[in-house]
Amino acid sequence: MTPSPIQAAAPAHAGAASGPRGRIIAVTSGKGGVGKTFLAANLAAALTARGERVLVLDADLGLANLDVILNLEPKLTLHDVFTGRCTLEEAMLPAPGGFTVLLAGSGLVEYSRLTQEVRVQLEDIVAKVAPRFDRILLDTGAGISDVVLYAVSLADEVLVLATPEPTSMTDAYATIKVLATQQQRRRIRLVVNQVSQAGEGRAIRNQLQLVVDRFVVPKIEALDEPLKLDLLGEIPTDAGVRETVQKRRLLLETMPGAPAALALVGVAQRLAA
């Protein structure tokens, strides 16, 4: 009998062999439309500016839009790698901002469900690219689907993105709960996007931590270390963000002085620390 995806999602990287390899960070949110792909792309640019070799892997296999954000028209995607139409090498594309992307290509409905094949292929690709970069950002899909959970399970760290909207906070909380109880995550990084006043991100982090301590911690049988939400930063609501997203450009390139861009640099700094 095959284990359930959730059980199988116990960190697949644990004990993985040897050799220096990049740190894998999954970017996830629960709710869609909170700026996950925007964050992944601009965080990648900020990390690249710090001198890191960065890959963004579009793990939103069903509904990818990294190509849209970066204004890339991919001729080759993960789909071509999966089907043997091109090599992994050929599908790794240079992105504006100086980092590398592996695009999923939109509408790959057949990959939106976690089959054994998708599991094996994703794991294989991550293993192959990991030694070649300092950091790999996995841009996951919306929701808490088993593909998302599986992609997250491949990562060393998880970054949960939320906005102050109640639906986003609820979904972020649900995501944190699943990650803590089913993947034994003890440290979860948090970024709060679209913050309207300074300190709102901290307040949301504290509130989430409060609910986690009350409701999630008692569910964990053997709590080896404290379950900690770690605020990487808050990104203010910024008209520049909308403008650059619409123009399909990187905020960090076109408006490096914008408040949101400065906040992203701070997030990169704390992530790298």
Partner 1 sequence: MPAPTDQPPAGSSALRLGTALLLLQQAGHVWPAGVQPGSIAWLQSAIDGLCELSSRDALTGLSNRRQFELALASEIDRVARTGEPALVLMVDIDHFKRINDDHGHPAGDLVLKAVAKVLHDCIRPMDTVARFGGEEFAMILPNCPPLFGQAVAERVRLKVQGTSVTIAPGQQVSVTVSLGGAYAPQWVRSSPTLWVERADQQLYRAKQEGRNVASLEQPPSSLVSPEEKGLLFGTSQFQEFL
Order of all β-strands in the sheet with 92-94: 92-94, 100-102, 54-58, 135-139, 23-28, 157-162, 187-195, 228-236
In the complex, minimum distance from the CB of residue 206 to partner 1, in angstroms, rounded to a whole number? 11
Q: Closest CB to partner 1 among 24 and 147?
A: 147
Q: Is 40 in the site for partner 1 (CB under 8 A)?
A: no
Q: How far apart are CA 148 and CA 251, in angstroms?
A: 26
Closest CA to 227 of 204, 215, 209: 209
In the complex, minimum distance from the CB of residue 198 to partner 1, in angstroms, rounded to a whole number? 20
Q: Closest CB to partner 1 among 87 and 197?
A: 197
Q: Is 223 in the site for partner 1 (CB under 8 A)?
A: no
| Structural contact between residues 92 and 102, judged by C-beta atoms closer than 8 angstroms | yes
Q: Is 4 in the site for partner 1 (CB under 8 A)?
A: yes
- Give exposure, 78-104, as e/b (b: 16+ Cβ within 10 Å): bbbbbeeeeeeeebbbebbbbbbbbbb
Q: Closest CB to partner 1 among 178 and 265?
A: 178
Give the total of residues touching partner 1 (CB under 8 A).
34
Take residue 239 and report the two structure tokens written for it.
Answer: 């008209």
In the complex, minimum distance from the CB of residue 149 to partner 1, in angstroms, rounded to a whole number? 8
- The residues near 89 (Cβ < 8 Å, ≥ 6 apart) are none
CA 58, 60, 65: angle at the middle one, nearest 5? Answer: 70
Q: Closest CB to partner 1 among 70 and 142?
A: 142
Per-residue contact track with partner 1, 102 to 131, x per CB under 8 A? Answer: ----------xxxx----------------
Q: Closest CB to partner 1 among 1 and 14?
A: 1
| Interface ranges with partner 1 (CB under 8 A) | 1-2, 4-5, 62, 112-115, 141-148, 166, 169-170, 173-175, 177-178, 181-182, 207-208, 210-211, 214-215, 219
